[in-house]
Amino acid sequence: MTDIIKLTAAETAARIASGELTAVEVTEAHLARIEAVDEKVHAFLHVDREGALAQARAVDAKRERGEKLGPLAGVPLALKDIFTTEGVPTTVGSKILEGWIPPYDATLTKRLKAADVVILGKTNMDEFAMGSSTENSAYGPTGNPWDLTRIPGGSGGGSSAALAAHMAPLAIGTDTGGSIRQPAAVTGTVGVKPTYGAVSRYGMVAFSSSLDQGGPCARTVLDAALLHEVIAGHDPMDSTSIDAPVPPVVEAARNGSVAGMRVGVVKQFRGEGYQAGVIQRFDESVELLKELGAEIVELDCPSFDLALSAYYLIAPSECSSNLARFDGLRYGLRTGDDGTRSAEEVTSLTREAGFGAEVKRRVMLGTYALSSGYYDAYYGSAQKVRTLITRDFEKAFEQVDVIVSPTTPTTAFPIGERADDPMAMYLADLCTIPTNLAGNAAMSLPCGLAPEDNLPVGLQIIAPALQDDRLYKVGAAVEAAFVEKWGHPLLEEAPSL
């Protein structure tokens, strides 16, 4: 089992295709790993043991019939519990959808199944993806496999923890303000936010519709690229889906190079609030890029300083609209319906019981920002700032091919440390939010351990919209350089397990 769970997704798929391993053997090994360690980590909200084994048996039957298998056939995956899965619970980390069984698959779920990827189950997350730590889940926090007393990032901490704990070689996350990249950074894994609209949002429970984006999570850049290729592509069921070819991400990951590329470093992505060890590892990564043949260009993007404020007006405003559907009348939790109360009273009692504190906070913020007399002052102004941020990116990408920065200002902080200080929690989003507001593509990959606490640090790479392959080209080059420098995968084993 130990050997199987340490394989990359690409290695696993190759061994299944050759007959060296069966998909059932691989799935059973990962299910056994989940059973052994997830009681401590709490990465999964639901493990679909029978469904996963049935998918694995179907892959083995295909191979026995001589049918050609896809590049990820039989590879297990952990799916963030925000995508609908027919016949399998989808809670979005909230009590308001506890026990809800969707009648249909999200487009992303369908594409995973069509590619013969084995879905192990649904992972823990901040309720409705609102958070930076996976402490806001109604079902309890997830621990970081590097130190179980610390957060695994948010909102997709369950997916990143499953990867770091070797419970799955692949995972899916969603990124509204950094919720793929931040968990990747603090768990020593790889996470990619594709260009907005590149991966269908149909069947993904909405938080902030103009920002939400599903994407791949893995332990290597190549594995992330292989998964990216499976889930991306135009979907007529999603009105925001881009009708454009998927960039050649796998080819880029197999041929990583930064020679001759211009790499931008934004001065706004450092300063007060950044941990010294994070900055040290980032500066070393910039020097490494120089050694690999990149030209480093200093950039000034003044509007980035306003991104956090703009985001925390736009995202709550959109969530206050999206979450209006959870009224206790159509699906999910219903409280107080004893025949004596009005529909309005039932809705109020249901939301009081079903929504957590962070969700209520953001709904109230958003409702206020959209209310009569305040719309232009708050939401309208935030959208203007969003335009300025997009323009700063456009100017920057006239000078450089990609931008790099730390992914998060600090390493993983202790569970509970920021629970009573929302502003401190929101500061974890400093480096990731501008990309969501502009709709660009971005990746986080490991760039070492911070010397103060021996915890992972993430390097963020940002590319222009529809140029996602640049992420993989640069990411693969950096990853290969780290492997060569240390002689083994930099972050092979999370020590607390």
Cβ neighbours, 10 Å, residue 148 = 18
Per mean pLDDT, which range of 14-18, 170-174, 488-492 is the poorest?
488-492
Residue indicated by tokens 């940002």? 462
pLDDT on residue 494: 66
Residue among 80, 95, 110, 193 flagged as catalytic: 80
> What is the Cα Rg of the chain in Å?
21
User: Distance of alpha carbon 161 from its chain centroid, rounded?
Assistant: 11
In 3D, which of 170, 273, 269, 300 has the Cα closest to residue 222? 170
pLDDT in tens, 428-460: 899 999 999 999 999 999 999 999 999 999 999
Contact between 197 and 244 under an 8 Å Cβ cutoff? The reply is no
257 is catalytic: no
485 is catalytic: no
Per-residue pLDDT band for 376 (boundaries 50, 70, 90) equals confident
pLDDT on residue 483: 85
Residue among 94, 133, 137, 179 flagged as catalytic: 179
pLDDT in tens, 210-254: 999 999 999 999 999 999 999 999 999 999 999 999 999 999 999
Residue 400 above 60 pLDDT?
yes
Residue 297 above 60 pLDDT?
yes
Give the angle subtended at the CA of 463 by the CAs of 462 and 464, to the nearest 5°: 135
* Contact residues for 57 (Cβ-Cβ < 8 A; gap 6+): 23, 24
Residue among 155, 200, 241, 405 flagged as catalytic: 155
Q: What domains appear along the chain, each with residue ranges and CATH number? A: 4-302+388-493 (3.90.1300.10), 304-386 (no CATH)
Taking the CA of residue 403 as centre, how many other CA atoms within 13 Å lie in the half-sphere pointing to its CB? 31
pLDDT in tens, 136-186: 999 999 999 999 999 999 999 999 999 999 999 999 999 999 999 999 999
- Please state, for a pLDDT cut of 70, what percent of the chain lies above it: 97
Verify cis geometry, omega within 30 degrees of 0, for the bond prior to 159: no
pLDDT on residue 311: 96
Residue indicated by tokens 């001589």? 66
pLDDT on residue 486: 67
Distance CA 89, CA 92 (A): 9
Q: Please give the full DSSP string across 406-470, using - where no structure is assigned.
A: ESSSSSPPBTTTTTT-HHHHHGGGTTTHHHHHHT-EEEEEEEEE-TTT--EEEEEEEE-TT-HHH
Residue 487 above 70 pLDDT?
no
Contact between 22 and 60 under an 8 Å Cβ cutoff? The reply is yes
In 3D, which of 82, 108, 144 has the Cα closest to residue 454? 144
pLDDT on residue 330: 86
444 is catalytic: no
Read off the DSSP letter of residue 174.
E
